[in-house]
Amino acid sequence: MDPTQREDLMVPEGRNRRRHPRARGDWPVMVELPDGPHQARVRDVSKGGVSFFLDRPIPEMTLLSVEFDLPCSAGVRRIRGTGAVVRCSKISKALDHYEIAVFLTEMADPDRATIEAFVTETLLV
């Protein structure tokens, strides 16, 4: 048997790789890059990461900070975190916009808990 075909060695694709459930989003996110802040739009969130749309590519493994106001049952909560870009995909050939996924390596525990509660509430609706 070809070792790349062994189930225990195969890397799951897409949704199967995700460790945490996600909830769709559609609100502004401020992305802090080495050249300054950039406004983007959240696509989805989980307690482990965030993906957003931006008008420029960001190379994988770029370290950045994000900050956004999460609408939750208790009102709006400011979420801050830092992480690394794990994916950057052009949305279409016609648009100069990209979907960027960030794995959040540093975030306060209360912020992660707020995101987790938001995701749980959203999935139950």
> Cβ(71)–Cβ(27) under 8 Å?
yes
Per-residue pLDDT band for 27 (boundaries 50, 70, 90) equals very high
Q: What is the pLDDT of residue 123?
A: 77
Residue 18, pLDDT score: 55
pLDDT score of 19: 75
Per the model's pLDDT, the better-predicted residue between 23 and 15 turns out to be: 23
| Pick from 34-48, 82-96, 111-125: least confident | 111-125
Domain boundaries, the chain: 23-124
pLDDT(117) > 70: yes
Per CATH, the homologous superfamily of domain 23-124 is: predicted glycosyltransferase like domains (2.40.10.220)
Distances (CA, A) of 118 to 31, 60, 63, 86, 96: 21, 27, 25, 23, 31
Query: Residue 96 above 90 pLDDT?
Result: no
Average pLDDT, the chain: 85
Mean per-residue pLDDT, 104-118: 94
- Residue carrying structure tokens 């909560």: 77
Q: pLDDT class for 124, splitting at 50, 70, 90?
A: low
Cβ atoms 78, 107 nearer than 8 A: no
Q: What is the pLDDT of residue 74?
A: 77
